[in-house]
């Protein structure tokens, strides 16, 4: 009986979710600690992320399950707030990286991710310009007063000032309120990138971006706060 129960949990990790959710919400313990630890160990060896789930993640996954069954346990606002909190904490469970389409509405959805590399790359132009000033007139003035020194030492000593200056100049004057996100198109899975914010005072996407996939030509919307992307209803 014990082996059979373990087999079902390995095959259907959602059963482990139900056990965890019951414990977190009511305190009722369905399995002993030893049995539960053994089940988690089996899932860990099978590569499941369920073994590192905390209370908020359990509540989130339970809300998703109940919504799909047609009996939601929380409002849309509560769900979005919980998902945003989990995303800020870096939870894997709050990021739906694979597109899902719903037959009843024809809407396809997916969650994009922040493109940290390109977000940081936006500081590069200002950084290069400031280093040009640092190694040009500033270095020459310094050399006249204190004598010439190794330019590499000057570069290292000037890094904190250049970094802070590039960050301030970029965020205040070039890419205001910037955020670069990437992920698959909800409809065809082709990778897209979305830029939120203004560029040199020219207004761009704010809280909501409407994009057109260059591959399938389908239009989808992306919410900045949750990075949830969804296509438009087929009736539109």
Kindly give the confidence (pLDDT) of every residue in the chain, 236 residues in length, as a single tens digit, with 9 standing for 90 and above.
233 333 333 334 455 555 555 554 455 555 555 655 565 565 555 545 554 566 777 777 777 777 766 778 788 888 888 887 877 776 766 666 678 787 777 888 888 988 999 999 999 999 988 888 887 877 677 767 766 777 777 778 788 888 999 999 999 999 999 999 999 999 998 999 999 999 998 999 999 999 999 999 999 999 998 888 999 887 54
Q: Are residues 90 and 29 in the same domain?
A: yes
Q: Is the whole-model pTM more than 0.85?
A: no
Question: Of 158, 174, 190, which closes a domain?
Answer: 174
Counted domains in the chain: 2
Assess whether 23 and 71 both reside in one domain. Answer: yes
Tokens of 186: 């909800």
Residue 13 structural domain:
2-94
Shared domain for 8 and 81, answered yes or no, is yes
Q: Are residues 72 and 146 in the same domain?
A: no
Q: Is 192 helix (H, G, I), strand (E, B) or coil?
A: strand
Is there a domain that residue 6 lies in?
yes
State whether the Cα torsion 139-141-144-145 is positive or negative.
negative
Contacts of 179 (CB under 8 A, 6+ apart): 114, 119, 195, 196, 197, 224
Phi, psi of 220, rounded to the nearest 5 degrees? -140, 160
Q: Name beta bridge partners: 122.
A: none
């Amino acid at each position: 009986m014990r082996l059979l129960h373990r087999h079902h949990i390995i095959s259907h990790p959602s059963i482990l979710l139900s056990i965890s959710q019951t414990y977190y919400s009511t305190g009722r313990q369905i399995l002993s600690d030893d049995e539960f630890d053994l089940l988690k160990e089996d899932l860990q060896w099978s590569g499941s992320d369920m073994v590192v789930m905390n209370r908020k993640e359990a509540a989130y996954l339970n809300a998703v399950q109940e919504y799909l069954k047609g009996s939601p346990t929380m409002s849309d606002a509560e769900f979005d707030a919980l998902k945003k909190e989990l995303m800020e904490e870096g939870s894997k469970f709050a990021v739906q990286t694979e597109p899902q389409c719903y037959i009843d509405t024809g809407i396809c959805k997916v969650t994009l991710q922040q493109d940290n590399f390109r977000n940081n790359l936006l500081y590069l132009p200002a950084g290069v310009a400031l280093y040009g000033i640092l190694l040009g007139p500033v270095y020459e003035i310094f050399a006249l007063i204190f004598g010439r020194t190794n330019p590499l030492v000057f570069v290292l000593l000037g890094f904190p000032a250049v970094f802070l200056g590039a960050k301030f100049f970029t965020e205040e004057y070039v890419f205001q309120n910037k955020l670069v996100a990437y992920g698959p198109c909800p409809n065809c899975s082709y990778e897209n990138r979305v830029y939120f914010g203004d560029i040199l005072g020219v207004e761009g996407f704010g809280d909501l971006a409407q994009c057109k996939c260059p591959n399938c030509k389908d239009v989808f919307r992306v919410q900045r706060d949750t990075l949830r992307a969804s296509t438009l209803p087929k009736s539109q």
